Amino acid sequence: IGPLDHVYYWTTDLDRAVKFYQEVLGLEVAFREGSKWAELDAGSIRLALHGAVEGRPIETGGAAAAFRVDDLDEARLALEARGVEFDHQGEVEGYGRFALFRDPDGNIVSLVERSDGRPA
CA 20, 21, 26 angle in degrees (round to 5)?
A: 115
Could you report the per-residue pLDDT of 68-102, keeping only the tens digit for each? 999 999 999 999 999 999 998 999 888 899 999 99
Mean of pLDDT values over 54-73? 82
- B/e letters for 75-103, b = 16+ CB within 10 Å, e = fewer, are bbeebeeeebeeeeeeeeeeebbbbbbbb
Mean pLDDT of the chain: 88
pLDDT band with cut points at 50, 70 and 90 for residue 119:
low
- The model carries a pTM of 0.77
pLDDT band with cut points at 50, 70 and 90 for residue 5:
confident
- The distance of Cα 96 from the centroid of its chain, to the nearest Å, equals 18
